[in-house]
Chain A
């Protein structure tokens, strides 16, 4: 399975932008990059996904490097509710499962 590498933890202040990095140097040409997050005591929830181009939705933006070996999830204005573990996952052609790594624990300070 292609692997992703994320920082264990990050901190942000409320109402400031947050940039969560993910390295995936072994990504193949057809792998999609997915982001999920898990709030305390809840199941994971989908955030965003992309292939090559940058993507925006109501929750976040996804910036993908030109060589696709890294990506960054951008929360434009962090709120306290955004405190969660953020997982960067490669969706591969080999199967349907999601392979979760350790993720990044985001702390948002008031």
Chain B
């Protein structure tokens, strides 16, 4: 079946512009995660959705970052007034089984470059 998909695969934007990144999880997966991977910072958690609610958004680096999920499926990560330090690969993951044995399935990521 189809895996996690993300769009766009690459995004180049100018400093100060807003960007929207999209994630389509595996069908039926109730949990959805956003992570960010930047040079020198490794892979860091941003936000977690269970259904349409976000019980853990503690990883969002600033109030310029927000995310929503509608219909328990597609999620959008929005970065307002982008800064150069926002340049990174943004990864989405989904899972259908919560708990200590949960397996997360990752998408290919969106590579964001802020000029």
On A, residues with C-beta under 8 Å from B are 30-32, 38, 42-46, 49, 51, 87, 91-93, 95-102
Contact B100 A93 (CB under 8 A): yes
Contact B56 A97 (CB under 8 A): yes
Given A43-B93, A43-B108, A49-B101, A96 contacting B42 (CB threshold 8 A):
no
Q: Which residues of A contact B91 (CB under 8 A)?
A: 43-44
B21 sits at the interface (CB 8 A): no
CB distance from A28 to the nearest CB of B (A): 11
Interchain CB contact (< 8 A) of B103 among A49, A87, A97: A49
Q: Which of under 10, 10 to 19, 20 to 34, or 35 or more describes the interface residues of B?
A: 20 to 34
Main secondary structure of the interface of A (DSSP, over half): loop
A6 vs B56: C-alpha distance when bound (angstroms): 27
Q: Which residues of B contact A100 (CB under 8 A)?
A: 35, 42-44
Main secondary structure of the interface of B (DSSP, over half): strand
The 10 closest A-B pairs by CB, nearest first: A43-B106, A100-B43, A97-B45, A32-B100, A46-B103, A91-B100, A44-B106, A43-B91, A43-B109, A43-B107
Interchain CB contact (< 8 A) of B100 among A31, A44, A102: A31
B104 sits at the interface (CB 8 A): yes
Contact B108 A96 (CB under 8 A): no
